[in-house]
Every structure is written in C-alpha cells, then in structure tokens.
Amino acid sequence: MADVNQGSVLPSETSPPALDGLNATDSNGTDAVNATVAKFVATPEGTALAYGSLVFMALLPIFFGALRSVSCGKSKVAGENGCDYEYRMNMPETITGRDAARFPIIASCTLFGLYLFFKIFSQEYINLLLSMYFFVLGILALSHTMSPFMNRIFPANIPIKQYQLLFTQGSGETKEEIVNYEFDTKDMICLVISTVVGVWYILKKHWIANNLFGLAFALNGVELLHLNNISTGCILLGGLFVYDVFWVFGTNVMVTVAKSFEAPIKLVFPQDLLEKGLGASQFAMLGLGDIVIPGNLKKNTRTYFHTSFLAYIFGLGLTIWVMHTFKHAQPALLYLVPSCIGFPVVVALLKGELTEMFSLTSDLSLQDHSAWRLK
C-alpha cells in the first residue's frame, strides 16, 4: 500500500513530502509498499502537479476497470466490446471470504520472503529476474488494456487475419493441449506496441513507460478481480488495513523491500517536471495495491459507485494532508479503508439498504439484479 515519508533530514532541508508507494505483487496479488524522499525542495506548483496527477491516474483504472468489468460480463455470450474469448467463456475464480481472510497472511509471508531474499542475495540479480518477469506481464497487460480501443480505431479497409498459437504434448489419443491461443491482426499490433513500451522500460526505466505498465496492471486488476460479495471486500480491506499499518509502523521490512525493489508496480509523477521536463527525477509515488484493492468495491449501483468514488478521493486526499501536517510516513490504506467502507455504509443506512449492500455481489458482471445495476 502506498505510504508517505518525510525522510530523515530536518524539515527545513526538505520539500513537502511526496506521496510514495511501492507495491510488490506475486501471483496471488500480494503487495508491499513504502516510501523514500530525497533531499529535494519542490516548488508548490510542482508538488501540486505531482499530487494531482497521481490522484487523477489512480482514478482512471478504477473507473474504466469497473466499466470494462461490467461490459465484459454483459457481452460474455455475444463476444462484444473486445473481451477475450477465454475471459468470456471462463470467468476468473471468485474471491471468497475465506480467501480474503488468508490474503494478508500470504501478503506478509511474501513481503518477508522478499526481505530475506534482498538481505541474502545480490540485489542486482534479483531485480534483473523481476524486471524480466514484469516485462512479460506488462506486455500482456498493456496489450489486453489496448485491445478494446484498437477494435474501435482499426481501419475497416484493412483485412483482419486470424492466427493460432498451438503447443501440444504427446500424439494421437494421448495428445494434450498445453497452449492454445487464438489472436488476430489487431492483437498483433497491440502486442508490438506493448513490446516497444516494454523494451523502453527495460532500457531506460523511464517514468512514463513505468506508468503505462502500472496503469495497465491496475486496470486489469480492477477488471478481472472478482469478489463474491461486499462483505468479502470488507474482510479483504480490513485485513490489509492491519497488514499495511503493521509493516509500515512496526518494522523496517517494507522500507528495505521498497528501496530494493525495482518494478512497474507503482505510479510515479515527478515533482520537478516544471523545471526539468521529461528528464525529471524527483518522484511522488503511489502503490498499485492502493488502487486495485479499494477499486474492487466500486462495481455496484450508480449511487454506491459514485459514493465509493468520492470516498476514494477523500481518503487519498486525507493521506496527503496528514503526511504534510505530521511529516511522517502514512500508509494510504489507513485512510482509504475507513473511507471506502464508511461512506457507502452511511449511504446504505440512510437508504435503509444496509443488509442488501453487504449481501449482494460487488461485481455486476457476475450477477444480474434489477436493484443493483450501473444504469
């Protein structure tokens, strides 16, 4: 989860602290975050631009990821809106309350494991392996993100050819498919563009390439992560709330991992952009876990979608305000969790829908209910 850190220098020597965050994600979605701030004095304009841009970028995958999740769910039979065939026919496994309760434990084990790895092995080689891993994942995530837009802008006069990548094991009756991937010309173009971005990131580690991959990861996370109901989301957020606060305030594990880990699992924006342009190097950061996890409570009715959306903005803004006031590291989920749960609960109480809110699914693509549609 994202957190903020004033640094160890005197306040008179530093700029207003940046909203920083790193998020380490394994195959189970585990994440870890922390922050560092260099001895750099940012202008008020540069600081406002960096914070405003981070908030704006955080809202993009939440909004469009939720809409794409609904769109893919509605078109799973018709095959519309650029949804993948595998996604239409095989919906991702839904997270249950039991899974949500285990999630912070898995996250803690993964975080501590990374901490030990960085302590024992060479940081250079570990980051090389992680870079290649996220290079492949980033290309696939960005390609999937671009696919619906490519479907809309692809010229109608260009013929679309179909391709198939098939890898089997054995022969005859014992033949078994290992990989069976079908794609077309539009998918090829998306893959080529994504690969160019990936090479750019590997070679330069440029912040724009990092953000393109980060936004793709976040949007896919909001779109493809499914909760069986709102209660499960609250369990998940509650557990990660404790996880985030403990590892930020209780140990130096997050700080160590965050300083060592290099991967596009955060959104960054330079505070010195106005002075140095695209070559800026002093960044404010926000971890992807602070986008994907709260973002999955937003796929419900229009009223609760808007309420949760405003709650997220309020929680992120409160994180920045507290950071500036107390000049100390602040885990973003410390403020996002109460906001994203509290605001909808208050609205549900006022509407007399508290029981319905907690019992119905948080994901419209998995349930068709007349009272809970994003109309």
Burial class (CB in 10 A: 0-12, 13-18, 19+), 193: middle
Instruction: Quick: pLDDT tens for 345-359.
Output: 999 899 888 887 777
d(CA 299, CA 67): 8
| Mean pLDDT, rounded, for 145-149 | 91
Question: Which of the listed ranges 124-128, 141-145, 158-162 does the model predict with the highest average pLDDT?
Answer: 141-145
Strand positions, DSSP E, the chain: 3-4, 19-20, 162-169, 176-184, 266-270, 283-287
**Predicted pLDDT of residue 27:** 34
Higher pLDDT, 218 or 178: 218
311-317 long-range Cβ contacts below 8 angstroms, 24+ apart = 311/339, 311/340, 311/342, 311/343, 311/344, 312/58, 312/59, 312/62, 312/336, 312/339, 312/340, 313/55, 313/59, 314/339, 314/343, 315/339, 315/340, 316/19, 316/55, 316/58, 316/290, 317/55
- At which residue do the structure tokens 């090389």 appear? 128
d(CA 101, CA 142): 30
For residue 287, list its beta bridge partners: 266
CA 321 to chain centre: 22
Is 24 a residue whose pLDDT tops 50? no
Spans of all domains in the chain: 44-76+93-156+187-364
**Predicted pLDDT of residue 289:** 86
Is 371 a residue whose pLDDT tops 80? no
pLDDT band at 156 (very low <50, low <70, confident <90, very high): confident
pLDDT band at 7 (very low <50, low <70, confident <90, very high): very low
**Predicted pLDDT of residue 267:** 92
| Mean pLDDT, rounded, for 175-196 | 89
| Mean pLDDT, rounded, for 302-322 | 88
Least confident of 191-205, 213-227, 247-261: 247-261
d(CA 50, CA 94): 35
Is 34 a residue whose pLDDT tops 50? no
**Predicted pLDDT of residue 300:** 60
For residue 95, list its beta bridge partners: 227
| Mean pLDDT, rounded, for 316-334 | 82
**Predicted pLDDT of residue 84:** 46
Query: C-alpha distances in angstroms, 113 versus 82, 120, 309?
Result: 38, 11, 34
**Predicted pLDDT of residue 41:** 75
**Predicted pLDDT of residue 189:** 94
| pTM, 2 dp | 0.78
Question: Which of the listed ranges 92-101, 252-261, 318-327, 343-352 does the model predict with the highest average pLDDT?
Answer: 343-352
Question: Up-side HSE of residue 354: CA atoms within 13 Å toward CB?
Answer: 8
| Phi/psi at 350 (5° precision) | -65, -35
d(CA 79, CA 182): 14
Q: Taking each helix axis from N to C terminus, what angle separates 185-204 and 207-224, rounded to the nearest 10 degrees? A: 130
Catalytic residue annotation: 244, 290
| Mean pLDDT, rounded, for 84-103 | 66
Instruction: Quick: pLDDT tens for 202-211.
Output: 999 899 999 9
- Burial string for 260-279 (b: 16+ CB within 10 Å, else e) reads bbbbbbbbbbbbbbeeeeee
Higher pLDDT, 69 or 127: 127
CA angle 231, 60, 41 (to 5 degrees): 110
3-class SS of residue 39: coil
**Predicted pLDDT of residue 368:** 39
| Mean pLDDT, rounded, for 9-33 | 34
pLDDT band at 273 (very low <50, low <70, confident <90, very high): very high
Q: Which amino acid does the sequence have at 327?
A: K
d(CA 4, CA 22): 11
Asked if 31 contacts 265 with a C-beta cutoff of 8 angstroms, the reply is yes
| Mean pLDDT, rounded, for 202-230 | 90
**Predicted pLDDT of residue 191:** 94
